[in-house]
Structure 1
């Protein structure tokens, strides 16, 4: 019995019923156009701020799907540096962060360049600069070799790994990828549809020993950028996939174990894209809030520590703000942190959160909800 779609006789001749998703495709296209139009009305600085926020979110959430939590400040600083943007509180980034950022920016800023095997190898090498995944040596910048057995696609939810399907044997990968790359570069299909199909097709082949998930999400962003006719990204599919992670693996497994009719997969992908486009209002509201905040407080007396921490709060603070965390980030004493915070409370900028636990938490007055981009952490 041929258990997976790549084992079917007519693989990869996908089929679908357009009537089941034409309305969704139309809605996605409409939302894309409206979003690009809205962003074009913003000034240069605000548009760059929204771009930086979106790319930061995309890199963080793509890595989180794989169970890897990157430092938000390092990601943001790395992206800003590569895009020639000056930001407050910039920090140096680890090589692992730089690699993910390099790949994502190459995919999106050069979205109209052809996709080649060498380009994918460059992305893979950027993800694994030491030639290792964790403690294990892997094949880097080349197709997988399956030296330790068949490649199985596994989700990593809370330590409960689940095998969703088995990829084609490694001796088939080069042929499969040659066919895939020819289709990506030469197919005349609608670009949103191309992104949906390419995502499924690449995941099915799973051409690398590790890093396939992050690479296909970069490739999906590349094709969606082509669909937008813009290399500026203002919505994050990775962030939405992170939210819909359980459903993602469910539809992926169902599709892999079905026939070559991928209608259900396309419906899921379009719904996920629509949700990602709608969620952009949060990013935009945060950018506009930040611009309005600094305009309002242009003459407010603030020290460098206060400006640094306020920018951190508006850029997506990791966890809850306490006086201890303030002191750690600002590299000052606890007493100085308390004085900074009390001064901002007196100026109507900060306020105490409702009492929770043993620590006192502080929040920026008026900050849009959902302003955290990193992983949560307990109070300290």
Structure 2
């Protein structure tokens, strides 16, 4: 990765982009994840599957990061036409036309140090809007190693602008789903000025290893200004020893830092990414509800996802332990069919191509396995169904194998019900 593209907020921002990418292209997909959500997720990009995969250290990466080689990120061949279409939308044109000023790294770092409670600083870094980034929109950020007398902690803030009313803005204003993201507490609130604020107390790693905590605050204003605060109980996010029991800022401190007026001024100077997408077009029904209706007999649905276009999940139990089952539904993926369904794909009598995979889960938790059936119909509709031997991607295994067989997963993926979702 070029130095100019390095993001000291860490892999969590990669996951965020991945998650969002998969959701934005999901209309193309969710890992998230986001991106291999950017958020298989995010941005799972949210992974997408959700952008929150990034926040909690691991969206929506939930949905397809586990499908090795199957995640296509923005900028790849299959996404160029979609990006061009998004960039020419009236909302994107209006947003990107907003005059943008200059935000320097020094100004961001200085503001972060000024807004933190009294303490000492041992290192700092940042990036402004004037930093080259291969022609793409970048998120300015500042990061410091801060000590309030109770041990060193990494604290970072990034600012950018989202398309007001768009999908990314909506996702950012929600708490993550506990089926995918391990966290201790999350609150989502609407502020007096109409801004959305989410405060999350989670972990750097999905299996909570090492005791590294990652707490965050996400602020999205009605005008699309986005402020993202991250803090750790260590001097760095990943692979750094824990230096204190908790990150330095409690929920009130995170809120105070994220809502400081200085950040909004910086965010207002950042152009909206021209690829930003509005909410995806309405679909014919809930993916989670459709999946629940296809669960084989003998399996009890004990939980399911909320209505969401392109992605859904259920947790089933056959009396021998819970099993997470998730599905990604993409209307037209013919432009990348050759990349995803090669010579090893099976072709069914109706022309549907099928690829199957069995392997370990991608969440860093021992014993988790993931079984996947990936399909594409002649009209390009792609349905990917995955099952785990656990009730959540961040939870320990509850059984040796998923509750559904590969044949059952294939029957779900090839069911004509998906055609009715639009």
- On whether the aligned pair clears a TM of 0.5, the verdict is no
Question: Which structure is richer in relative contact order (CA contacts within 8 A, separation 6 or more)?
Answer: 1
More strand by share: 2
TM-score (norm 1): 0.28
More helix by share: 1
TM-score (norm 2): 0.26
